[in-house]
Structure 1
Amino acid sequence: MLFWIFLVGGLAARYAAGRRILGGALLLCVPLIDVVLLGATVLSIRDGAGPTVWHGLSAAYLGLTVVYGHRTVRWADARFARRFGGSSAPPRPSLHGRAAVVDAWKSWFRFLLAYAISVGLIFGLVVLAGTFDKGAPLLVWLNPLTKVLVYSLIWPIVTTIWPGKAPEQGTEQAPGQETAPEQETATGNG
């Protein structure tokens, strides 16, 4: 939750309020929140608190934000810059063919990295807890993370099989504009 509060607060300060230094400082706090969260989780378990599902959530969350946090900040920054800073909209990539396949696999491998970090942190917390019995609530997060990893593999496989074709040159039309059917030429039968 703090991730989003600092992200929106930093971007609002930067663009809506025109306070670039304050906005930059708030945005620099975004990755620090993850470190504080993990530190609090480790201290809590080390001090004898029984591991809970919420401790596991912090490990799963940290893996995702390490991989996707910077991309999320860049994406949100571009949207705020467009809305409040007068920047132009970023061009939308037109992915087809090989580029679509490469993009789909990069996306999946990016999630695989987030998964590996999350799972590593979860097992690290289990080791910190002492036994698998004590750390069982932490392991609950392996189920949804693994399901997302496996189900997200469908997209790159489908994209590899059917990568899509590039739009044909000159066939793009303005919205609402229809092509008139070709008129038949009348030939006289004499």
Structure 2
Amino acid sequence: MKSKREYKTLDKVVYYSVIEKIKNGELKPDEHLTEERLSKELGVSRSPIRKAITALVAEGVLDYRTYSGVVVKDSLVDSTRYVQLLEVIELFVKATFDKIEQSEEEMDIEELEKCVQSMDRASYLRDLDEYTFNEHQFFLRLINYSGNPYFKDMAKKVFFNIKYFSADGITNHNEEMRERNIKQFGVIISYLNKKDYENAFSEIKKLFLSYSTHAFR
């Protein structure tokens, strides 16, 4: 998590401060959250707080409830929830491949290859945030071919929760595992180049199984 002074706008300070408070347990599920409270705790005026709350509601981190106002949603991702979130992405990918096979739409494989190349470079530089960003982008770009905006919107929220709310260690892949993952992505792309979506999906399932196994270690 970046320090507050690294963010250029006050609403970003509030945005990431709330995320941090949820992850470290200061803010709990169903807890009522007010602009006044955040203003006092963070020393920020209400205008940026309002913007941050609106953004966090859109991300599904906070919720507006009748008579209760803004409350904290249960966003923390333990090992079990992490596996469930991967299952959601897996379903979206399967639906995407089914759609592509039916429509015979051409995929831009090069943009997927660039994601994997960026993962490889980030892994070498030990820039894990950049590695994870491109890993998620690979699937978001893939799911975009479904033509269903709901799928991509939900996938974005899934990856948002995984990035910011996963318990320590769940998504921290060591160098050896990252190398295996990158090779696996290479195999997936080779099948996509052949338009062999059945085997491409099979490889994605194997990849997610390795992620799930790691999460429970």
Shorter-chain TM-score: which interval?
under 0.3
Q: Which has the higher strand share?
A: 2
TM-score by length of 1: 0.25
Select the structure of larger CA radius of gyration: 1
Higher relative CO (Cα under 8 Å, sequence separation at least 6) belongs to: 1
